[in-house]
């Protein structure tokens, strides 16, 4: 099979037959635009901030175990990582499948190119968990070339899951750090790469902008010792939360 056909099969999300058994699809639903609001009970705003265009949700049975697979189609791998980063907490295993992924007792989440994929196995049984890697590999390519761009400026290495977030707008920023949210008032930014430091009640943030004027404006709002690195269209800073801000917003799974 040539590369074109292989790519077409993946992007159409048609499961490939492996291990001699396809998932049995019990129900499939597709949501776009305003249809996301009804399905997500008000949680769609956060996803829309990252540009989600489509959600395909499937209830399947695979090798005797029930799973729900949610596939969110995003504009870029970075957007997919961003929304993923807001939904991973304590991973029992992270970034081991050749992509960005997080295994928890009842769920496996992953970033596959520009898609964020969640596989929930409500039983939490050892049997269901043992097959979830096989199941998600029907939908997730194993190549690393589709992974999101992680800025070298951050100076971090794998695993990224549970350590790094990408914040796209005021909803994700305010839900992660009120200190950072206050700093960014009036600033136009394209994204913020955020690393929490819970013991110190602080964080590091790489703020990316499209207009160099915004970088200069930010420099005036940040104390010089807190600027770790600066470029024409970015500012890498350290910050801290006030006690009340940290109590209300600082944890978010870190």
Tens of pLDDT, residues 140-173: 765 556 789 999 999 999 999 999 999 999 999 9
Query: How many CB atoms are closer than 10 A to CB 125?
Result: 13
Confidence of residue 179 (pLDDT cuts 50, 70, 90): very high
Cα–Cα distance, 187 to 97 (Å, whole number): 37
CATH of 16-146 among 3.40.1000, 2.70.40, 3.30.700, 2.60.120: 3.40.1000
Cα–Cα distance, 84 to 86 (Å, whole number): 5
Using a pLDDT cut of 70, give the percent of the chain over it. Answer: 85
Cα–Cα distance, 1 to 89 (Å, whole number): 39
Domain layout of the chain by residue ranges: 16-146, 169-250
Q: Which residues pair with 59 in a beta bridge?
A: 27, 68
Cα–Cα distance, 112 to 108 (Å, whole number): 13
SS3 (DSSP) at 237: strand
Task: Give this prediction's pTM.
Answer: 0.85
pLDDT at 15: 44
pLDDT surpassing 60 at residue 12: no
pLDDT at 145: 60
> What is 194-230 written as a DSSP string?
EEEETTTTEEEEEEE-SSHHHHHHHHHHS-GGGEEEE
pLDDT surpassing 80 at residue 209: yes
pLDDT surpassing 50 at residue 14: no
């Amino acid at each position: 099979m040539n590369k074109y056909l292989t790519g077409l099969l993946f992007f159409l999300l048609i499961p490939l037959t492996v291990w001699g058994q396809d998932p049995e699809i019990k129900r499939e639903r597709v949501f776009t635009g305003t249809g996301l609001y009804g399905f997500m009970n008000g949680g769609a705003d956060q996803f829309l901030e990252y540009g989600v265009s489509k959600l395909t949700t499937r209830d399947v049975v695979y090798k005797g175990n029930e799973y729900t697979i949610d596939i969110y189609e995003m504009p870029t791998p970075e957007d997919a990582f961003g929304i993923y980063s807001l939904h991973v907490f304590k991973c029992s295993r992270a970034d081991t499948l050749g992509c960005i992924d997080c295994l928890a007792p009842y769920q496996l989440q992953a970033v596959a190119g520009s898609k964020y994929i969640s596989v929930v196995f409500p039983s939490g049984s050892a049997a269901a968990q043992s097959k979830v890697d096989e199941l998600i590999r029907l939908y997730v390519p194993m190549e690393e070339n589709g992974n999101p761009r992680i800025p070298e400026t951050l100076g971090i290495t794998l695993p990224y899951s549970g350590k790094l977030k990408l914040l796209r707008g005021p909803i994700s920023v305010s839900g992660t750090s009120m200190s950072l949210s206050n700093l960014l008032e009036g600033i136009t930014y394209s994204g913020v790469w955020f690393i929490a430091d819970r013991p110190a009640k602080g964080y590091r943030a790489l703020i990316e902008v499209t207009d160099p004027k915004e970088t200069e404006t930010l420099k005036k709002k940040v104390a010089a010792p807190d600027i770790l690195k600066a470029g024409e269209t970015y500012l890498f800073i350290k910050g801290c939360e006030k006690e009340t801000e940290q109590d209300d917003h600082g944890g978010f799974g870190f």
